[in-house]
Structure 1
Amino acid sequence: MAGSSAVLEDDSTLSRLDRLFFRLESFLALLGGITIFLLVLLAVVNVLGRWLFNLPVSGYIDWVEQAMAVFAFFGIAYCQRLGGHIRMDIVIGSLKGRALWISEFTSTLIMLLLTSVLVYGSYLHFLRAFNNGDSSIDIGLPVWPAKLVVPIALLILAIRLILQLWGYIRAIKNNAAKPIAVPLIEDAATQAANEAKSVSGFDEDQNS
């Protein structure tokens, strides 16, 4: 079962696009994290306000429902770039060379097709809410901004998948052992070492 994976870089056009797009994905993931932090603060204010002054935040549930779309979807492409989505790799983990990259290409292509359908469907859902003026039940917040987040986030995921398909095509063509711009499968020991390094805050240079 795969966790996060390594992504190699070089000076090629694909790698430059990968790094450039990763900045956007990182920014959106940061927005998702900030949204969670603000929701925590809002929950604290709501609880203390109700407890101390019998004055909860008006429309608290409505605000939470709107914000959920941001932190639930804005980090999807970021996680895909790092190979952080949980998946079963019992079979593909035993593959090597072109067989591995063909398998990864096929699964990524299927993901792209499904994501494209979801982009179209979620956009229609947003458009219907926008045209109808749908709003939340409690304080009447317009719901179309939250619904617009979904097709935007999925479109960014689709672009990420296209970049990864490009990387897998290069890997298949060149029979590369470690291609760039795609998440590489790491064994359990390597994943554990990388996670320990990230938690500790020290790198190899600092330890040496």
Structure 2
Amino acid sequence: MMFLTLADVIGRMFDNPIVGTVEVTELIMGMMIYLGVGYTTIHRGHIRVDILITRFSPRVQATLDTITFFIAFVFMALVCWRLFLQAASRIENNDITQIWEIPVWPVAYVMAIASILMVTSLGLQLALAARATFAAPAGGPSGQ
């Protein structure tokens, strides 16, 4: 994708851009984002601001994790459901890109399937956080 964009920019300098670069870049970008977010979720690589959280007891930390994972799980489950509906609609309407006439539905399904990866990961992390909520000591960090 980077080389395609670079070649297009160089082509524009010589008044000869690559036709359809924008639509191909958009399709690739959509897949990269959903696959990347799912991968990052699995490896718990999302940014966390723990300046305040680390001051709480393990049980409170686990409870906050449970709440945030639950919200993220519900939101991403809805996004996943809507992505599958959107992908089916893309097939039904025979949606294609304007210039190269590339079918859009395969990209839509890749995004939907990648969101399953994220929802599954969030579900597992939610279960682990909920278990930690009830297993964590009730007192402070030393268990008092």
TM-score under structure 1 length normalisation: 0.59
- The C-alpha deviation readout for 1:163-204, integer Å capped at 9, x for no partner, is 11222233234327xxxxxxxxxxxxxxxxxxxxxxxxxxxx
Q: 1:43 aligns to what?
A: 5
Please list every run of 5 or more consecutive structure 2 residues that lacks an aligned counterpart in the other structure.
Answer: 138-144
Query: Could you tell me whether the CA contact under 8 Å between 1:81 and 1:160 is conserved in 2?
Result: yes
Structure 1 residue 131 and structure 2 residue 131: aligned? no
Give 1:90 deviation, angstroms.
Answer: 4.8
Query: Could you tell me whether the CA contact under 8 Å between 1:122 and 1:147 is conserved in 2?
Result: yes
Give 1:130 deviation, angstroms.
Answer: 1.1
What CA RMSD, in Å, does the superposition of the two structures yield over aligned residues?
Answer: 2.1
Please give the alpha-carbon distance, in whole angstroms, between the structure 2 residues aligned to 1:49 and 1:107. Answer: 47
Q: 1:79 aligns to what?
A: 40
Number of matched residues?
A: 137
Give 1:58 deviation, angstroms.
Answer: 2.3
Q: Tell me which amino acid in the other structure corresponds to 1:45.
A: A
Query: Could you tell me whether the CA contact under 8 Å between 1:62 and 1:141 is conserved in 2?
Result: no
Q: 2:67 aligns to what?
A: 106
Q: Tell me which amino acid in the other structure corresponds to 1:157.
A: M
Give 1:157 deviation, angstroms.
Answer: 0.4
Give 1:160 deviation, angstroms.
Answer: 0.4
Give 1:95 deviation, angstroms.
Answer: 1.5
Q: 2:142 aligns to what?
A: none
Q: Tell me which amino acid in the other structure corresponds to 1:44.
A: L
Structure 1 residue 58 and structure 2 residue 19: aligned? yes
Please give the alpha-carbon distance, in whole angstroms, between the structure 2 residues aligned to 1:166 and 1:132. Answer: 39
TM-score under structure 2 length normalisation: 0.82
